Each structure stands twice: as C-alpha cells, then as structure tokens.
Amino acid sequence: MEMAIYLDRIRRAEAYLASLDLPVPRWCIILGSGLGGISERLKKVHRETAFERIPGFSGTSVEGHDGKLVFGSTGKTEIAVMEGRYHLYEGHDPRTVVLPIRVLLALGVSRFFITNAAGGIRSDLNEGDTMMIRDHLNLTGYNPLTGPNLKEWGPRFPAMNDAWDPVVRRLTVRIAGEIGIACTEGVYAALAGPCYESGAEIRMLRTLGADAVGMSTVPEMTVIRQAGCTVAGLSLITNIAGTDIPPDHGEVVDVASARKPVIHQLILEVVDCCKKEVSP
C-alpha cells in the first residue's frame, strides 16, 4: 500500500472518531477470537461503531470477531474496546492489520491490553487456562514497521527486549489468582496462519522456547511499543497444540466464548486497578 493512501486512511478514521466528541479512553482492550461482548459489563457505553462504518477501516471476515469499536466507561476508567481485529491471513498487509492501533494512538490512547486465543505448547498449560505474555517470537515473516517511518510514530529501530509491561503482567496474574483463574506467564509465538501448525512445527516452537502459539497480537504490540506506550498481552489457551486431535476454529471460538465472562471480569479489574505510575 502506498504511504499516501495509508496516511489518508488513518487521518480520515481519526477525524471521524474525533468528531464524535467522546471522552479520550485511558485504555484500549483488544478482544481475540470468541472473546467479544465486554460492552455488556461496562457501566456506560458511549458509542458502538462497526469497523466498516469508520472511514478508512474495513470489515472483518473471521468467525468470532464482531468487528466493531466500542467506547465506554467502567465507572472508574474510560476505555475503547476493539471487538475483533484484522489478521495477516485474511489477506491484509501488515500496515492494515495495525491501522486501528495507529488511529487510537493518534486519538491519545496510551495503554493497551491485547487478548488472543492460542494453542498451548508448554506441558502445564490446559484448555481454559490463561497466560500473560512475558516475551514473544515474531515468526510471521512480516513487520508492520517495514517501509517509510514517520517521526511522530516513534523511532525507526524500537527495542523489543522489554515490550510487555511487567507491572500490568504481575498485577493481572495476582488478580487472576484472587478470582480463581489459572494464570501463568510465558512466551507467545506469532505465526501468519491460517493453517494450524504441523507436528514438526510444534516441536520447532517448543525448541525455540515458545509456550503458546497464535496468529495475531505481535503486529499490534510492535506499533504500540514503537510509540512508547504500555502494552500487556493475555493468551487464552483454547486448544492443546501438537496432539493427535486436529484443531478446529469453531471449537476454539466455543472454548473462548465459555471463558469470556471471567476473562472480561479479569481485564476490567486490571484496568481499574492500574495506578498512574504504570508506564508511560
């Protein structure tokens, strides 16, 4: 995609959302496969807008991703919620995958909580468990920062060694324990998809140190960290990778849908508990 076209899409979307005159969200929550519906738990919903109604955006094509942007309040915290996301395997280029993030950053959002459905690789991870991302492997073959870089986006060569905020990560694990959710920390491997991994690929990922694997999250994190903003990531383990049972997307969505009430509770408690000292 030509840079001029891309920047025009960002500016049109930003102008449209700014014209709605909504409170600036403190946090953005990005909900993965089957995890939509968090707006039902908000104290107030200011606005819900389908992606395709936002200039510069397009709709989503994946089951379990509603494809809408919700602005609301928990009563303590103003938030934006992406119910669904774009994926590389849908045919989107890396810049389009992160376009909503660019727009939200331009609107003033500085803290992000990303979720995904993932396959568990580490032996102690079970279906329905959660894993806070401590580190990641970008094995997609793509990077959304490839190409021209604008100075206002951040540095040309951002560091990724401390990408996932440790304060939010530890807080999430603690609160999960208090409300009875199995939550650990680990390394998330991002692949482009859409095929589920072969047995040999799972053995490779295990050798590389991956604890869970999915097809999203890392592109969004990359532009958030380039901007110097806070990001936390949570993987819901919806299937066990590397077994003789073939994964099925419908079953992944079913597992996520069954667990989403407690996942929503966890995320909202975390964003309300985070203090001002959380970076940035």
Q: Provide the 10 A C-beta neighbour count for residue 166.
A: 14
Radius of gyration of the chain from its Cα atoms, rounded to whole angstroms: 18
- Report which residue type is found at 212: A
If we measure between CA atoms, which residue out of 81, 262, 269 comes closest to residue 172?
269
- Averaged confidence pLDDT in the chain: 93
3-state helix, strand, coil in the chain (%, to 5): 35, 25, 40
Q: Measuring CA to CA, how many Å separate 5 from each of 12, 15, 190? A: 11, 15, 27
Q: Hey, where are the domains in the chain?
A: 3-273
Could you give the CA distance from residue 208 to residue 189 in angstroms, rounded to a whole number? 9
| CB-CB contact of 105 with 220 (8 Å) | no
Q: Which residues of the chain have pLDDT under 50?
A: 276-277, 279-280
Residues 6+ apart with CB under 8 A from 76: 272
pLDDT at residue 59 in the model: 80
Which three-class secondary structure state does DSSP give residue 168?
Answer: helix
Please give the structure tokens belonging to residue 271: 């964003």
Could you give the CA distance from residue 44 to residue 88 in angstroms, rounded to a whole number? 33
Give pLDDT tens digits for 149-159. Answer: 999 999 999 99
Please give the structure tokens belonging to residue 121: 């690789």
Could you give the CA distance from residue 175 to residue 169 in angstroms, rounded to a whole number? 10
pLDDT at residue 63 in the model: 67
Q: pTM of the prediction? A: 0.95
Backbone angles phi, psi at 80, to 5 degrees: -115, 145
pLDDT at residue 277 in the model: 46
3-273 under CATH 3.40.50.1400, yes or no: no
pLDDT at residue 224 in the model: 98
| CB-CB contact of 224 with 205 (8 Å) | no
pLDDT at residue 34 in the model: 86
Give pLDDT tens digits for 222-253. Answer: 999 999 999 999 999 999 988 877 877 888 88
Determine the Cα angle at 207 with ends 202 and 210, to 5°. Answer: 70
Q: Provide the 10 A C-beta neighbour count for residue 128.
A: 16
Burial per residue of 46-80, b for 16 or more beta-carbon CB atoms within 10 angstroms, e otherwise = beeeebeebebbeebebebbbbbbbbbbbeebbbb
